[in-house]
Amino acid sequence: MTTTTKQGFTLVELLVVIGILGILSAALFPAIGNAVLKANMTSVGTRGRDIFVAITGANTEREPLGLGNVWPKTKLPDGVTGGGADADISEQTFSTSSKYFEELMDSENFGKAEWAPYVNGIDFSKLSGAGVPAKPDAGGELKSANNMWTIAADVRDEMEDIIPILVTRNVKEDETILKKKISNPSKTRVDKWYIEEGERKTPFSNKGFVMVRKGGAVFTLSSRYVNEFTVYQGQSYDTTLGGSEGIKYLIP
């Protein structure tokens, strides 16, 4: 009669396997991380595009009615007097993008008979993603922690279509690419991000950003290529034509 002895792995063999797995993981991690980043950017870009389409759709609906556009304003046009919180959105001014989105979606009246959002087909879920938590309820106050978008205010029809109008909040709005005027786009890489200021470091930290142009094009860019020249396709532009102060970016 023959007896067989079952043997397990020796300690040396286990260490060798663990070492091999560690090497493979280290080799694959950058590729996996890059794929996840690109997937998140694509998803965020789709949400930004949905917001753009909803807003431009509302403007198209309002134009034959003689109503002003629903893009946010920091100052009212000449001859227009603000009517307070109950006034039409075109007669209100906003200091943050969160307050603007609250009004755009009429979150104050959500669930009531008088609920009447200015846009259709979008909700607060379009403002979150890629590390930015979703708003826990469908109505009420929108906190900056649940809003990933910086939005351009005081946009005029005659401005160039390359201008960013929706940008993820990890970009510094006054110190990097978001400017009122560029006469000679720089190829210097952007190195200033909101990466050490609490919730502003998400989404994407300093790894890149997503934006939607005034013409509707979605643009995703990794930090390696972030500069004025690339973002604005080498074109100069000026939003201060006619003595206007130009656009202002409303952070969450």
192, part of any domain: yes
Mean local confidence (pLDDT), 130-147? 91
10, part of any domain: no
15, part of any domain: no
Task: Give the pLDDT score at 172.
Answer: 86
176, part of any domain: yes
Task: Give the pLDDT score at 22.
Answer: 67
Task: Look at the alpha carbons of 69, 73, 76, 81 in this order and tell me if their dihedral is positive or negative.
Answer: positive
Whether residue 245 is predicted with pLDDT greater than 90 in this model: the reply is no
- Highest mean pLDDT pick, 46-55, 152-161, 170-179: 46-55
Give residue 157's domain range: 38-250
33, part of any domain: no
Task: Give the pLDDT score at 87.
Answer: 86
In the chain, the largest separation of any two C-alpha atoms, in whole Å, equals 106
Contact (CB, 8 A) for 147 and 97: yes
Structural domain total, the chain? 1
25, part of any domain: no
pLDDT tens digits along 198-213: 788 899 999 999 999 9
Using 50, 70 and 90 to split pLDDT, how confident is the model at 148?
A: very high
Task: Give the pLDDT score at 24.
Answer: 60
Whether residue 1 is predicted with pLDDT greater than 60 in this model: the reply is no
Task: Give the pLDDT score at 80.
Answer: 65
Task: Give the pLDDT score at 79.
Answer: 64
Using 50, 70 and 90 to split pLDDT, how confident is the model at 46?
A: very high
Higher pLDDT, 191 or 6: 191
Higher pLDDT, 6 or 159: 159
64, part of any domain: yes
The Cα-based distances of 48 to 52, 57, 159, 164, 204 in angstroms read: 6, 14, 20, 11, 15
Using 50, 70 and 90 to split pLDDT, how confident is the model at 78?
A: low
17, part of any domain: no
Strand order in the sheet with 208-213: 218-222, 208-213, 164-168, 149-153, 248-250
Partners of 164 in the beta sheet? 213
